[in-house]
Structure 1
Amino acid sequence: MPKVAGIPYFDAMNAGGVLAASRLGAKWITRAPATVDPAAQTAIVKQLTAEHVDVIAVAPNDPVALAPAIADARAQGVHVLTTDTDAAGSRREVFVNQTTAPRLGAALIDSLMRKTGGSGEYAIVSCGAAAENLNSWIAAEKSYAAQKYPRAKLVDTVYAGEDTTKATALAKELLSEHPRLTGMIGQCTTATPGVAQAVRDQQKIGRVFTVGTGTPQTMKPYLTDGSCSMTVLWNVESLGYLTAWTAEQLATGTALKPANNVSPELPAVRYDAATRTVLLGDPLLITPDNVDQFKY
């Protein structure tokens, strides 16, 4: 279950899950909420629990709100893992993590500061205010920037839900409220095109720089015209593949190892038993030069 339906990022995850399921002989089902309202995800978890599926893999919009439904699923013998976004305080059994917050935060800040000269004012446009992954990335960015780029100043952080149009509107408000703004970070795959679109619409390409976690083909036009300098992501299809593979391990009672040969494409995936986290790997830096390597 993704955070919301109709987003290319989660469509790409779904494609990877379908491929893994076909290789493993499993059945992959996608149920996506129509909105980012936490209650919508809770209702789907309850429905899947009632159907007694073997495993539920969910990217929580609000980890706290979803925790009771996860606990109920586990009590009824349904395995639950989180993917893309964790719910660390819940009864989830494993978290399939795309990359670590410090690595992603450093990559985003470095890519922005290369354009702004390591100084200036910048802002963040995020999605859900309760999204654990996004908040952990923001915390990592703040910490890293304070240490490495003391002349840079974060002036505001705003939240657009999973709504690109709202992200664009908020980014334009930031540009108006902070006339000395030199950079913006799109903290999620719907906010990243939103901030780039705002820079494009306000004719500030080359004066205000944006980076973020947008999907490659969505961001290609913005990378091409310079309204986005770089998108920092990971192989989203591989994240979906790893999610399905991990679900299969839970369903079959197969213990995860410190290093796991998941597939020919993922030969050494690490597992940290202390945090019960499977880690996809390092973030990818996507530029105009390599964007066409990724079809999603």
Structure 2
Amino acid sequence: MPQRRQILPGQFIQQKVSTLIVAPNDPDSMAPLLKEAETAGIKIGTSDTDAPSSVRQVFVNQASPQGIGEALTDAVMEPMGGKGKYAIVSCGETAENLNSWIAVQKAYAAKKYPDAELVSIVYAGEDQAKATSMATDLMNANPDLTGLVGECTSSAPGVAQAVKDAGKIGKVFTVGLGTPMSMAPYLNEGSSSASILWDVKALGYLTAWAGAQLAQDKPFAASNNVGPGLEAVSYDEATKTLLLGPALKITKANVSNYDY
């Protein structure tokens, strides 16, 4: 297989692209580069994860933080019976989207599930093996732990793998932000109860559409007819955010419907 060539944002600035859309793991460190791109006359957007304090002109949001945070919490609490100890294995400590979801999870669980206790939040970066190791350590440190949340697409299968390896399927329940194909084996065997995500193909389409709108200086409407299946994408002028739609719950019952 040919090797993929990594292209850095600075190279796109040198190429004088019309629009630059990024998904920054560290919004603060990305902000100066985005300012440089803006100075060069490039239109700026973010997608998937935001840099709200930067010069970006639009954020393409896959689902609202409230919707994702609540869906993750409900998904892990359902098999736990709404009570017990659980932990979160996240990725980057500075990722805007992950932290916004976690903030919702904390507040929502405290209100709706008072008998549940979040015992720890750890960060595995974008490393699935590290997520598995951290989840294993969490189970060892908390023998009465009954829930694990994998906050991103590498930690979701990672925590499920840890439960499988520990022989705790049906005793420790996991959910996470995982793609259907990566989560299918875990959902089918029961080491994961659910994956909360969004339509990845639709997010890509919306991001490309938003980039074209910026390049052509076309304004966003309160409701946008983007294309088939995306006839009513809302835009919030105050936050400059396009919202794809509600979170998608993927389970053993429907995971075969998705091919990504």
If the length of structure 1 is used for normalisation, what is the TM-score? 0.86
1:250 aligned residue: 214
1:237 aligned residue: 201
Partners of 2:169 and 2:129 in 1: how far apart?
A: 19
Partners of 2:198 and 2:5 in 1: how far apart?
A: 23
1:284 to 232, 245, 248: 248
Whether 1:170 aligns to 2:142 is no
2:49 aligned residue: 85
1:23 aligned residue: none
Q: Look up the equivalent residue of 2:91 and give its one-letter code.
A: C
1:76 aligned residue: 40
2:103 aligned residue: 139
2:28 aligned residue: 64
In 2 relative to 1, CA 96–31 (structure 1 residues): closer, same or farther, beyond 3 Å?
A: farther
Q: Look up the equivalent residue of 2:177 and give its one-letter code.
A: T
Alignment gaps of 5+ in structure 1: 1-5, 7-29, 34-43
Displacement after TM superposition at 1:80 (Å): 1.0
Partners of 2:44 and 2:80 in 1: how far apart?
A: 43
2:45 aligns to what SS in structure 1?
strand
In 2 relative to 1, CA 32–107 (structure 1 residues): closer, same or farther, beyond 3 Å?
A: farther
Structure 1 vs Structure 2: percent identity of aligned residues? 53
2:118 aligned residue: 154
Q: Look up the equivalent residue of 1:109 and give its one-letter code.
A: T
Q: List per-residue Cα deviations over 1:148-171 (Å, max 9, x = no partner).
A: 001100000001111101100000
2:146 aligned residue: 182
Displacement after TM superposition at 1:32 (Å): 5.0
Alignment gaps of 5+ in structure 2: none
1:96 aligns to what SS in structure 2?
strand
2:191 aligned residue: 227
Displacement after TM superposition at 1:261 (Å): 0.4
Whether 1:55 aligns to 2:12 is no
Partners of 1:32 and 1:178 in 2: how far apart?
A: 41
Displacement after TM superposition at 1:45 (Å): 1.8
Whether 1:196 aligns to 2:196 is no
Q: Look up the equivalent residue of 1:111 and give its one-letter code.
A: A
Q: Look up the equivalent residue of 1:255 and give its one-letter code.
A: P
Partners of 1:289 and 1:176 in 2: how far apart?
A: 31
Q: Look up the equivalent residue of 1:92 and give its one-letter code.
A: R
1:228 aligns to what SS in structure 2?
coil
1:114 aligns to what SS in structure 2?
helix
Partners of 1:293 and 1:282 in 2: how far apart?
A: 18
If the length of structure 2 is used for normalisation, what is the TM-score? 0.97
Q: How does 1:205-220 map to 2 (within 5 A)?
A: 205-220=169-184
Partners of 2:18 and 2:251 in 1: how far apart?
A: 40
1:108 aligned residue: 72
Q: Look up the equivalent residue of 1:242 and give its one-letter code.
A: L
Partners of 2:51 and 2:160 in 1: how far apart?
A: 30
Q: Look up the equivalent residue of 1:201 and give its one-letter code.
A: D
Partners of 2:256 and 2:17 in 1: how far apart?
A: 37
Runs of 4+ with >3 A deviation: 30-33
